[in-house]
Amino acid sequence: MDFQLTTEHRMLIETAQAFVRQELLPHEDAVEQSGEVPAELAAQIRCRALDAGLYAFNMPESVGGAGLDALSQTLIERELAKVSWALQVYVARPSKILMACRGEQVDRYLLPSVRGEKVDCFALTEPGAGSDAASIRTRAVYEGGYYRINGAKHFISHAGEADFAIVFAVTGVDESAGRPRNQVTAFLVDTDSDGLTIRRGPRCVSNRGYHQYELFFDDCLVPADRVLGEVGQGWLVAGRVMVAASCVGQAQRAFDLAAGWATERHQFGRPIGHNQGVSFMLADMVTRLRSAELLTLETAWRMDQGTMTDADAAMAKLFASETLAMVADNAVQIYGGMGLMDETPVERIWRNARIERIWEGTSEIQRQIIGKSILRDWG
């Protein structure tokens, strides 16, 4: 693996850094205080992201996206992550599962999502099915050209802003493997569909302004041509690598803030960073951060080479998210009491960090994936 970034990579990083600095960070404090992103600001960010060529950077050139490789996407995710999801979400990354669109679905859902004309949300999680996604209970029954959907989803991010939802529902039972297993199908469901109710969910302490929603399906009729093709698991492992990149970006910002504070804050007549207790914390933070960054970049490189495994993605997500937790916690410790005041970015990074060990598969799920891989290789 060549550890030198190309000129193109450096240009992408500089573009993303400038966008975060100019278009997102100036609004961070206001969004943290209000818990909302005004509609006009959301539209402004979306428009400027399109102008900057960052919108839908995760999508192939063949559908109007930037056509970037996984390593390039990882570098951009790392920079965008230095500001809360409440703002960076408007630099949209349409769900990659939309590449399964066929026929009329392409013009109705895929292309408008890439052009910034429509927004999707990903509706998988349910009250009784989080880590165990195969246990979802939302059902879709075929009836003469339509599917009748009944059930509920929760923790669906950004659903209130979405034009359509990618909804996962049970359409049958597969008994061919020796034990019954739900057959799960994805559907493209317009958010204004009859029989679908969208309601704000409980407030989350992480990422203020980036809201969670509950979706309720009560005899919601969806045309059969809205079934979203044959879908594999690639979107899951790819998502974990991008979460790892996001964690590295957040950890880098937390470290930079802590190092700056350790230099500027004086106690007992000298900067606190000169105290061994603080300098050792900084040493551990930067060492873990560098390790997480290298693991994440290598995993993205493996994805580009077509050699990445589920365990590779799990290791990147696990280590980067737990590194972020450690770095954010130490940053608060170095700041002391000020680290818990909501007027400092350190406090919000610390809060936001907690969700990273839960979504896109908990740390326990990642360890399970890694453990099974080890036993399979050595069995």
End-to-end alpha carbon distance in the chain:
29
Q: Do residues 309 and 268 share a domain?
A: yes
Give pLDDT tens digits for 355-377: 999 998 999 999 999 999 999 98
Query: What tokens were used for 178?
Result: 């020796």
Distance CA 328, CA 177 (A): 45
> Dihedral of CA 34/39/43/44: which sign?
negative
pLDDT of 256 reads 98
Average pLDDT over residues 314-328: 98
Cβ neighbours, 10 Å, residue 129: 18
Domain check: are 346 and 250 in the same one? yes
Same domain (yes/no): 261, 358? yes
pLDDT at residue number 266: 93
Q: Calculate mean pLDDT across residues 124-141.
A: 86
- Asked if residue 187 belongs to a domain, the reply is yes
**CA 64 to CA 62: how far, in whole Å?**
6
| Structure confidence at residue 241 (pLDDT) | 95
What is the average per-residue pLDDT within 247-264? Answer: 98
CATH code of 205's domain: 2.40.110.10
- Inform me whether the pLDDT recorded for 231 exceeds 60: no
- Residue range 225-243: mean pLDDT, rounded: 74
Least confidently predicted of 5-14, 34-43, 121-130: 121-130
Domain assignment present for residue 99? The answer is: no
The verdict on 149 and 18 lying in the same domain is no
The predicted pLDDT at position 376 comes to 93
373 & 273 share domain: yes
In a shared domain, residues 243 and 209: no
Does residue 298 lie in a domain region?
A: yes
> What DSSP letter does each residue of 362-374 carry, written as one string?
-HHHHHHHHHHHH
pLDDT above 80 for 226? yes
Considering the domain boundaries, does residue 186 fall inside one? Answer: yes
Q: What is the pLDDT of residue 16?
A: 98
Query: CB 37: neighbour CB atoms within 10 A?
Result: 22
Q: Show which of 93, 109, 139 is a domain's final residue.
A: 93
Query: Of these residues, 77, 126, 322, 360, which one is catalytic?
Result: 360
Residue-level pLDDT at 232: 38
Give the tokens for residue 121.
């949300």
| Domain total in the chain | 3
Q: Domain for residue 27, yes or no?
A: yes
Q: Do 351 and 270 fall within a single domain? A: yes
pLDDT at 177 over 90: no
Is 360 designated active site?
yes
* Contact call for residues 291 and 323 (beta carbons, < 8 A): yes
In a shared domain, residues 362 and 261: yes
Residues 272 and 210 in one domain: no
pLDDT for the residue 119: 97
Q: Give dist(CA 314, CA 233) in Å, integer.
A: 13
pTM here is: 0.93
Task: Look at residue 24 and tell me if it is in a domain.
Answer: yes
What is the pLDDT averaged over residues 5-12? 95
Q: Are residues 364 and 275 in the same domain?
A: yes
- Contacts of residue 15, defined as CB under 8 A and 6 or more positions apart, other chains included, come to 52, 53, 54
> CB-side exposure of 319: number of CA atoms within 13 Å?
20
Q: Which of 87-91, 132-136, 308-312, 349-353 has the lowest mean pLDDT?
A: 132-136
- Residues 53, 146 within the same domain: no
CATH code of residue 11: 1.10.540.10
Percent over 90 (pLDDT), the chain:
88
Which of 78, 93, 108 terminates a domain? The answer is: 93
What pairing do the DSSP bridges indicate for beta strands 120-123 and 164-174?
A: parallel
On whether residue 102 sits in a domain, the answer given is: no
Give the integer Cα–Cα distance in Å for 129 and 137: 8
pLDDT of the residue at 237: 67
**Does residue 234 have a pLDDT over 50?**
no
In the Cβ-directed half-sphere of 356, how many Cα atoms lie within 13 Å? 33
State the residue range of the domain holding 278: 234-378
Residue 196 pLDDT level (bands cut at 50, 70, 90): very high
The verdict on residue 147 lying in a domain is yes
Question: Residue 373 belongs to a domain with what CATH number?
Answer: 1.20.140.10
Do 192 and 70 fall into the same domain?
no
Higher-pLDDT residue of 61, 3: 61
pLDDT value of residue 379: 74
Identity of the residue numbered 32? E
Give the mean pLDDT of the chain.
93
The last residue of a domain, from among 226, 252, 282: 226
